[in-house]
Amino acid sequence: MRVLHVEAGRHLYGGARQVAWLLEGLAERDVDNLLACPEGAAVAEEGRRAGARVVEMPMKGDLDLALVGRLRRLIRAQGVELVHVHSRRGADILGGIAARLEGVPCVLSRRVDNPERAWVARLKYRLFDRVITISEGIREVLLAEGVEPGRVVCVRSALDAAPFDRDCDRDRLEGELGIAGDGPLLGVVAQLIPRKGHRHLLAALPALVERHPGLRVVFFGRGGHEAALRREVEERGLGGAVVFAGFRRDLARFLPCLDLLVHPADMEGLGIALLQAQAAGVPVVASRAGGIPEAVADGETGLLVAPGDVAGLEAAVARLLADEPGRLAMGRRGRERIREAFSIDTMVIGNLAVYREVLEAGR
């Protein structure tokens, strides 16, 4: 089976990381993988490491209509049997059109729960033989918009838990991030964009800092909202409590040092950082948005609050900071749950089953 994967992301965020694991797992099952990605994209190196043939090409967004021709030529030249489009930005519709014009089956991974107009969704998803959602929450969004149930299947995102199951590297934390002291340490791992909800935590933080003067929060990630968040930190007088750490490839070294991971997102497909934190034995306080309730077992591996509920967020964080035995127990349960429910093998087998079903139906 020869599969062309199309990933338009330039950075190795959660979605691209899933693509790399999928390529590796499929190669172990004798799938011949090609990867089309932007020039200089971080996923290119990961793809080569996974044994895929990588083709870097211009991918300039939704209006890059020439991408259809580039993908068609690649499909034709390489004898591709199935196309798997992994990105929404500038690759989903164009990749689906390219596959359709070449008469090749196409599946799409849907990783976000952003609502779309019902007529747009019904028209758009007809391009794809299957839409693979990374959570049941996303699947429900598509069904509510009128996409046919037989076209949508859920295969949850996965995590390699082993790198996160380690002791805290406190010296590195203090040396690289400049965080010293023994106060509570919270982390947020997310792009610095509005829908990730950093502002909700900043609104809850003054009361939490008053209760825990040594409390520190680390924002791991980068994005277009960073300047606005930095201004808000200063306006609220939180400069001594909040650290901007940027995008890190070595999160596994830092997550075990956290007392809590906080993820107050307004919208979220599933949340790979939530899985990473639990693999590190760290309980989670998050919003009950999108696929998050599938990632975090409320009351067992963390606490969930309504999206945008600042008072609820503050109360949940305060409750767990005051209950060290409860936090540790949640951390242990989270580590066990990730190993059982979110393995890479399960994710790879699920995607491969979709490929085989689509190809068999085509025959």
Question: pLDDT of 258-310, one tens digit each?
Answer: 999 999 999 998 888 999 999 999 999 999 998 999 999 999 999 999 999 99
Q: Please tell me the class of the 2-158+343-362 domain.
A: alpha beta
What pLDDT is recorded for position 362? 80
> In this structure, which amino acid lies at residue 329?
A
Residue with tokens 């606490």: 303
Q: What is the pLDDT of residues 169-211, one digit of tens each?
A: 878 888 888 887 789 999 999 999 999 999 999 999 999 999 9
**One fold for both 2-158+343-362 and 162-341?**
yes
Q: What is the pLDDT of residues 327-360, one digit of tens each?
A: 999 999 999 999 888 999 999 999 999 999 999 9
Give the rounded distance of the alpha carbon of 270 from its chain centre: 6
Question: What is the DSSP annotation of 32-99?
Answer: EEEEEEETT-HHHHHHHHTT-EEEEE----TT-THHHHHHHHHHHHHT-SEEEE--STTTHHHHHHHH
What pLDDT is recorded for position 316? 98
Q: What is the pLDDT of residues 107-122, one digit of tens each?
A: 999 998 888 898 888 8
Residue boundaries of the structural domains of the chain: 2-158+343-362, 162-341
What pLDDT is recorded for position 93? 92
User: pLDDT-derived band of residue 239, with 50, 70 and 90 as boundaries?
Assistant: very high
Strand partners, 185: 216
Q: How high is the mean pLDDT of the chain? A: 94
Tokens of 236: 């609220």
CATH of the structural domain 162-341, one choice from 1.20.1510.10, 3.40.50.300, 1.20.58.710, 3.40.50.2000:
3.40.50.2000
* pLDDT over 80 at 363, yes or no: no
CB 289 within 8 A of CB 307: yes
Tokens of 208: 């939490």
| Three-class secondary structure of residue 123 per DSSP | helix
**% of residues, the chain, pLDDT over 90:** 81
Q: In 178-220, where does DSSP find H-type helix? A: 198-211
> In this structure, which amino acid lies at residue 141?
V
Question: What is the DSSP annotation of 279-314?
Answer: HTT--EEEE--TTHHHHS-BTTTEEEE-TT-HHHHH
Average pLDDT (25-51) is: 97
